[in-house]
Amino acid sequence: MSYETILYDVKDRIATVTLNRPEQMNTWNDQVATEVYDAMQAAGADRGVRVIVFTGAGKAFCAGGDIHSFGGDPHALMTKLPRPFDMRKRADWQTRCSYYPAIPKPVIAMLNGATVGIGLIHALFCDIRFAADDATITTAFARRGLTAEYGMAWILSHHVGHARALDLLLSARKIKGIEAERMGLVNRAFPSDTLADETYAYARDLAENCSPRSMRIMKEQLWEVPFQTPHEAIMAAGLDMPIANQCDEYKEGMASFLEKRKPNFTDD
């Protein structure tokens, strides 16, 4: 698929998906949604990709929804996308903004600038978030007469806790990347001029030194945790342990450790 609103690149086993509407601050519309979804699925299925970085071109990651593209109705986007929204499912990771947990590889959101509204929702459903320390981040909804859309109340409180989520949603106040790091909304905040270097150094470390199978299984385990009792989580982990111990990746991981060399894991 050729893309008009995003860039897609693969290098060193890292796929980069870049929102590429810098003049519009990478605001979100139905075409962006379709192209990002397609690129994420392609990266997830590509055996030559081990890590995915999601970022924006220019001064913004994503400054919210492109209201002009859907006639001033922010909910029009939902009616245009063909993917199902099944409220009967406990954890339907294939809905409009929450499909990132179902991608079998780590997805790192690199928040290079303004991250607003629906842009923040997408970032929150990624696995890791690195931000520029001066990036502006806000939920925005309360100041537009909207509510916590696309599961934001759940995912935001999952990351930062109930009290902080209420603060950010009710006030829609703007915070910077450095405050987002302190409250746990992002994993790390870096000076804007080193953000890309730090992000890709981390991504390369995962791609070069970590087992693709291990990362895939542990990602599944962590995203399942909110729906499990401790007993269920322990039992599920126990079911995979004997399987992991028989895998070639386990043998290579142990051999590389004993031989004091970098591992050479096969693609999952």
Answer yes or no: is 13 within a domain: yes
| Domain identity same for 203 and 235 | no
Q: Identify the pLDDT of residue 75.
A: 57
β-sheet with 51-56: strand ranges across: 6-11, 14-19, 51-56, 107-111, 128-132, 188-190
Answer yes or no: is 111 within a domain: yes
Answer yes or no: is 11 within a domain: yes
Answer yes or no: is 267 within a domain: no
Answer yes or no: is 263 within a domain: no
| Domain identity same for 150 and 241 | no
| Domain identity same for 60 and 184 | yes
| Domain identity same for 63 and 157 | yes
| Domain identity same for 115 and 130 | yes
Q: Identify the pLDDT of residue 96.
A: 76
| Domain identity same for 218 and 183 | no
Model confidence, pTM: 0.90
| Domain identity same for 114 and 217 | no
> What is the dihedral angle through the alpha carbons of 17, 21, 26, 29, rounded to the nearest 10 degrees?
-90
| Domain identity same for 195 and 109 | yes
| Domain identity same for 244 and 134 | no
Answer yes or no: is 265 within a domain: no
Q: Identify the pLDDT of residue 82.
A: 47
Q: Identify the pLDDT of residue 76.
A: 57
Report the domain count for the chain. 2
- Domain assignment of residue 223, given as a range: 211-258
Block means of pLDDT (10 residues each) for the chain, length 268 residues? 94 98 96 96 97 98 86 55 50 73 97 97 98 97 90 95 97 98 98 98 97 94 88 87 80 82 81
Answer yes or no: is 128 within a domain: yes
Q: Identify the pLDDT of residue 113.
A: 98
Answer yes or no: is 30 within a domain: yes
Report the CATH number that the domain containing residue 108 is assigned in CATH: 3.90.226.10
